[in-house]
Amino acid sequence: MLEIKDLKAEIEGKKILNGINLVINPGEVHAIMGPNGAGKSTLSAVLAGRADYTVTGGEVTLNGKDLLELSPEDRAREGVFLAFQYPVEIPGVSTTNFLKTAINEKRKYHGQEPMEATDFLKFMREKMEQMEMDKSLTSRSLNEGFSGGEKKRNEVFQMAMLEPTLAILDETDSGLDIDALKLVSNGVNKLRSPERSFVVITHYQRLLDYIVPDFVHVLYKGRIVKSGDASLAKELEAKGYDWIKEEVEANAQ
Amino acid sequence: MLLETLKNDFNQYKAQAEKGSFLELREQAFAEFEGLGFPTTKHEEWKYTNLKQITEGKFNTTCIINPEVKTLVNSLVYATLKANLLVFVNGTFVSELSIVIEADNAIAIGSLAAMRHTHKETFEKHFGKYASNQNQALTALNTALLSDGAFVHVAPNKTVANPIIILNITDASELNVLAQPRNLIVVDANSTATIVEAYHATGTNASFINVVTETYVGENAHLEHYKIQQQAGESYQTNFNQIFQEGNTNINHVTLTLDGTMVRNNLHYFMNGQNSNSLLYGLYITDTNDFVDNHTRVDHAKPNCFSDEKYKGILKDKSTAVFNGKIMVHLDAQKTNAYQRNQNILLSDDATINTKPQLEIFADDVKCTHGATIGQMNEEQMFYLRSRGIPENEARKLLLNAFADDIAEKIKIPELVALLEQQIDQKL
């Protein structure tokens, strides 16, 4: 479904991604781990379409379409969802209004009629129950005054509402305590399906105890230097990133 | 030239006016005005506000009521609200378009020209006591040549349940018009009232309206005052509101300036007693070559008072706005809490905002902050919305509406807010 071929990207002249190759099939959960500065956030930013990054080589296709040609809103409407590491607050825009607009924009893009107001509310209530979200959430302004955990749970709730085919979780575990982590992970696990793929970007292995991946890739200096299954994450936890760095240096010689 | 017209108008007025203290007051005022002349950009307070279009123009004080005006009044939301409605056309009270549903012995709502006689005691106690003519050319001019305006007196311990709407229409369909309404609002101790001061214009000629309002708020009273300026066409407005508030009072003042070629608002609060709260909120949305200038002043003269000011602007095309907020904390005003923010979004490279906070603090145990921001759209918020599938234009509108509605929602009349939010949306 998602094919990344030799992707290179930089920001303000600094090279960050130096040739990423990755294939993600429907229903698969891929974890991307790596030390700080490896390029994890850059990868998610480039996939989501942030303007400050420049793609200098390679290609990314989503179901055969050139993803890099699409605007951020079109990528979303094609089924990409990015759960932000630091979700921004938007005072004055209610969560309800925001989600209704987003859903209807996607429907318009696909030539569908907008959802009726009553249908939307019913849909939202179902999803809130499924994701165990507090009722008060939806009348509040988007993320305003939310704790770190609440913001991350709100990202996963939006994912439930927007039903993407490719969900990218950008360091969703950062700033969360163990209880919040479990809640967020429960939510994500409920959304796993054969039609939906996940890219879980994380620095720590702990999240992957709860969201068990099918594949684990280690990103270092802008390249995927090692791939494996869920046990690779355990190995990293035991040995640390230095083990990978040493291996890469050794192979370079 | 306008000055000549005004001199003639005043001489004509003097010739037929009833002798007495009111005439004397007006003669002094006109003399003050003549001595000062119109303010120019050489005056610090008028640095950015060029009145040339007015001073070099030819204006008439006409009272012909066009039948179209009635249609206009009936088309406005004010005609649909359950309220006390006072309609003024070119500064003249039009009783057949007005309706007062709540007047009794304790609540007086009507025309100043009439009530200064029927409610002489209140009039003489308050008129001219708060807005000084000294060094204030436009206030002096208004005092000298006022035609009519709203008179509101709420006696102690009364609540006026329905809003009092002071609707000013300038009708410039025949000629350029000049109107000088003068409002006197007195809310005595323990009372509550809501005032809506609204401005609309019709006609293709130019209009200049010079408004002065004096507001007295007695001990423990509560006042909501909403000023909504939506004059289409070539319209110029100078609007001065002096509020004098006693202790333990609560005042919420919201100014929405959504239209007008040139609008200059001066909003002054004098906090004359302890433990009062004063709120000042404003929103201005300007386009084409429009100019909006909001000058505010809050005098914390007594201890333990709270004031909060937030003015927001959205500027398009080649429009210009000015914000000058003064906070004066007097020597005795210990434990003052005074806050001020001015936030502006510029949607074009040719739009200009001049923003200046001025804090003069003479007491030493106070908490005062001020801040001004000028920017474009918040890129992080834009990206977030777009990443959810909301296209750039829609995302921008969503954010601009949220920015503006924050102020519109300070108005506590839901039907009015709903309509204003729609009108704001259309402007963005």
Say if residues A28 and A199 touch (Cβ distance below 8 Å).
Answer: no
Give buried/exposed letters for A203-227 (b at 16+ CB in 10 A, else e): bebebbebbbbebbbbbbbbbbbbe
B99 touches A at CB < 8 Å: no
Nearest Cα to Cα of residue A20 among A36, A6, A1, A9? A6
Supply the ipTM of this predicted assembly.
0.95
pLDDT at residue A213, rounded to an integer: 94
Closest approach of A102 to chain B, Cα-based (Å):
5
pLDDT at A253 over 80: no
Question: Inter-chain contact A76–B392, Cβ cutoff 8 Å?
Answer: no
Q: Do A77 and B387 touch (CB under 8 A)?
A: no
- Residue B62's pLDDT is 73
In a 10 Å sphere around its CB, with 0-12 CB exposed, 13-18 middle and 19+ buried, how is residue B197 labelled?
Answer: buried
Torsion, CA A188, CA A190, CA A191, CA A197, rounded to 10: 70
Q: How many CB atoms neighbour CB B422 within 10 A?
A: 9
Selected residues 384-423 of chain B with any CB under 8 Å from a CB in chain A: 384-392, 394-395, 398-399, 401-403, 405-406
Q: Which of residues 33-62 of A touch B (CB under 8 A)?
A: 48-50
Residues B391, A91: C-beta atoms closer than 8 Å: no
Q: Which of A82, A6, A96 is nearest to A45 (CA)?
A: A82
Mutate to test the interface with A, among B388, B396, B410, B425 (most CBs of A within 10 A): B388
Residue of A nearest to B380 (CA): A88
Contacts of B176 (CB under 8 A, 6+ apart): B57, B58, B59, B60, B205, B206, B207, B208
User: Is B287 strand, coil or helix?
Assistant: coil
pLDDT at B174: 87
Surface of A (118-147) touching B: CB under 8 A: 141
B384/A84 touch (CB, cutoff 8 Å), yes or no = yes
Asked whether the beta carbons of residue B389 and residue A105 sit closer than 8 angstroms, the reply is: yes
- DSSP states along B36-90: H-S--TTSGGGTT---HHHHTS--B------HHHHHHHHHSGGGTSSSEEEEEET
- What pLDDT shows up at residue A50? 92
Return the residue matching tokens 């399906």.
A193
Reading chain B (428 residues) residue by residue, the pLDDT tens digits are: 889 889 999 999 999 888 888 999 999 999 999 999 999 999 989 999 889 888 888 888 877 778 889 999 999 999 999 999 999 999 999 999 999 999 889 999 999 999 999 999 999 999 999 999 999 999 999 999 998 999 999 999 999 999 999 999 999 988 899 999 999 999 999 999 999 999 999 999 999 999 999 999 999 999 999 999 999 999 999 999 999 999 999 999 999 999 999 999 999 999 999 999 999 999 999 999 999 999 999 999 999 999 999 999 999 999 999 999 999 999 999 999 999 999 999 999 999 999 999 999 999 999 999 999 898 889 999 999 999 999 999 999 999 999 999 999 999 999 999 999 999 999 98
Query: Ramachandran region of residue A19, left (φ > 0), alpha (ψ -120 to 50) or beta?
Result: left
B389 contacts A77? CB cut-off 8 A? yes
Give, rounded to a whole angstrom, the gap between the first and last alpha carbons of chain A.
Answer: 36
A91 touches chain B (CB under 8 A): yes
Per-residue pLDDT at A175 exceeds 90: no
pLDDT at position B131: 94
3-state secondary structure of B254: strand
Q: Do B164 and B195 touch, CB atoms closer than 8 A?
A: yes
Cβ neighbours of residue B372 closer than 8 Å, sequence gap 6 or more = B323, B341, B342, B343, B344, B355, B357
Rounded alpha-carbon distances, angstroms, from residue B405 to B212, B270, B416: 28, 28, 12
**Cβ of A92 and B390 within 8 Å?**
no
Q: Cβ B388–A109 below 8 Å, yes or no?
A: no
Residue in chain B lying closest to A158 (CA): B388
- Fill in the amino acid letter for B293: D
3-state DSSP call for residue B204? coil
Side chain identity at residue B255, one-letter code: T
Asked if B381 is an interface residue toward chain A (Cβ–Cβ < 8 A), one would say: yes
Q: Do A88 and B381 touch (CB under 8 A)?
A: yes
DSSP secondary structure letters along B314-382: EE-TT-EEEEEEEEEE-TT-TTEEEEEEEEEEE-STT-EEEEEEEEEE--SSEEEEEEEEEES--HHHH
Average pLDDT over residues A187-195: 93
- Which residues in chain B touch residue A73, judged by CB atoms under 8 angstroms apart? 386-392, 395
- B392/A102 touch (CB, cutoff 8 Å), yes or no: no
Q: What is the pTM of this model?
A: 0.89
Q: What is the maximal distance between C-alpha atoms in chain B? A: 73
For residue B146, the 8-state DSSP code is -
Alpha-helical segments (H) within B61-196: 67-75, 112-118, 120-126, 137-145
Q: Which tokens go with B165?
A: 């709407």
pLDDT of A56 higher than 80: yes
Rounded to an integer, the average pLDDT of A139-159 is: 90
| Cβ contact B309:B340 at 8 Å | yes
* Helix or strand (DSSP H, E) at B284: strand B277-286
Q: What CA–CA distance (Å, rounded) separates B42 from B412?
A: 40
CB contact under 8 A, B389 and A109: yes
Is residue B193 within 8 A of residue B225, CB to CB? The reply is no
pLDDT at A243 over 90: no
Joined tokens for residue B288 = 């084409």
CB B375 within 8 A of CB B344: yes
Helix, strand and coil content of chain B, in percent to the nearest 5, comes to 25, 40, 35
Q: Return the structure tokens found at B170.
A: 């300038």
Q: Tell me: pLDDT of A143 over 80.
A: yes
| Element at B108 (helix H, strand E) | strand B107-111
Statement: residue A138 has pLDDT above 80: no
User: What is residue A196's DSSP assignment?
Assistant: B
Which tokens in the block code for residue B152? 């509101």
pLDDT score for A36: 85
The contacts of residue B115 (CB under 8 Å, 6+ apart) are B108, B123, B151, B153
**Residue A219: predicted pLDDT:** 93
Question: Taking a C-beta distance cutoff of 8 angstroms, is the pair B188, B245 a contact?
Answer: no
Q: How far is B391 from chain A (nearest CA, A)?
A: 6
